[in-house]
Homo-oligomer: A and B are copies of this chain.
Amino acid sequence: MPKDPDPARRSERSRQAILEAARELVSEVGYAKVSIEAIAARAGVGKQTIYRWWRGKGAVVFDAFLALSEAGEGEAGEGGGVTLPDTGDIEADLKTVMRATVAEFADPAFEAPIRALNMEIVSDPELAAQYRERLAGPVDEAKKARLRSAQRAGQLAADVDLDLALELLYAPLYQRWLQRSGPLTPAYADALVDLFLKAMRPS
């Protein structure tokens, strides 16, 4: 009987130290050069304590940034999670959101961790599922809520699959950033929204 560890006895102190060390190290030296050994050393923790609760480097780093994002949400809404602006003007609202996203991606502090997260997602289906469930899911739900609201207002075609719509809107931006295949500017965000709205216009 290998006996799973008892989560009740888990040291919250160590857990926090590990996640913080992971975050720091990814920012400092980049995901590829982070090692479990380094995380343990910086966190002042035995290696076994990491292996007891995570499957490996990927899972730790992943958790580290997930925890960060979830903490951020917690502060803001508490009950609700994420919400997108809804002024009634779908074009204005989307351009606001997309310009904000462009700006966020330009922040070098986000560069390392988000790229790291994406690499894990690409190569590990399990983490990908967890990511969709815990991070992307809620956000996507909020975005879809805004689109639904616009549909109800007759601003968007009612018969379009919202998952596909979301991809149409975000994937180009995401891909351009991930592959560094072009500049991310507010003008780009606007152009993308314009095309998107044309595609979604009620017939």
Contacts and interface: CB of A to CB of B under 8 A. Distances in A.
Interface of A: 31-32, 115, 118-119, 121-123, 125, 128-129, 131-132, 136, 160-161, 163-165, 167-168, 170-172, 174-176, 178-182, 188, 191-192, 195-196, 198-201
Contacts of A192: 164, 168
A102 to B, nearest CB: 14
Nearest to A115: B122
14 contacts: A118-B122, A122-B178, A131-B179, A160-B195, A164-B191, A168-B168, A168-B195, A168-B199, A170-B175, A171-B171, A171-B175, A171-B176, A174-B175, A195-B199
A121 B115 CA distance: 11
A170 B174 CA distance: 12
Contact of A180 (B118, B125, B164): B125
A179 B160 CA distance: 22
A179 B123 CA distance: 9
Contacts of A179: 121-122, 128, 131-132
Nearest to A197: B199
Contacts of A123: 31-32, 115, 119
Contacts of A163: 182
A81 B171 CA distance: 27
Given A123-B31, A198-B201, A199-B195, A167 B160 contact: no
Contacts of A115: 122-123
A201 B191 CA distance: 15
